[in-house]
Amino acid sequence: MKHINKLLFAAIFLLFSVFSFANEGMWLPLLLEKLNEKEMKSLGMKISAKDIYSINSGSLKDAIVSFGGFCTGEIISSKGLVLTNHHCASMRYKITQHLNIII
């Protein structure tokens, strides 16, 4: 019986493996333009790879902030609005339950 369960599990795992794929991941900023920009544009990206990362001029790389060395966020407005993960902000700031925003 154990042998049949193992075979059944392996068959199900292989079946799902064939139909699943990962199309995300950590991309190297220096290689965005060369490797990923065309695909990202086809998926709806409206800015260029140089707008995301340019080593010699201003780009999104300059808008990254750190919360105590354990979390990051991005400044998305001229007034200082920052996007980050909920758990990063909730550890340090009061979160309203109604609006779920940092105050």
Whether 4 is in a domain gets the answer no
Q: Are residues 52 and 66 located together in one domain of the fold?
A: no
What pTM was estimated for this model as a whole? 0.51
Q: pLDDT at residue 23 above 70? A: no
Q: Mean of the per-residue pLDDT values for the chain?
A: 78
pLDDT attached to residue 101: 57
The residue type at 83: L
Whether 7 is in a domain gets the answer no
Give me the mean pLDDT over the 74-101 stretch: 70
Three state DSSP letters for 45-75: CCCCHHHHCCCCCCCHHHHEEEECCCEEEEE
Q: Are residues 52 and 72 located together in one domain of the fold?
A: no
Q: Are residues 48 and 69 located together in one domain of the fold?
A: no
Structural domain harbouring 42 = 26-58
Whether 50 is in a domain gets the answer yes
**Which residue, 54, 58, 85, is CA-closest to 71?**
85
Count how many domains the chain has: 2
Confidence of residue 12 (pLDDT cuts 50, 70, 90): confident
Q: pLDDT at residue 102 above 60? A: no
Q: pLDDT at residue 95 above 60? A: no
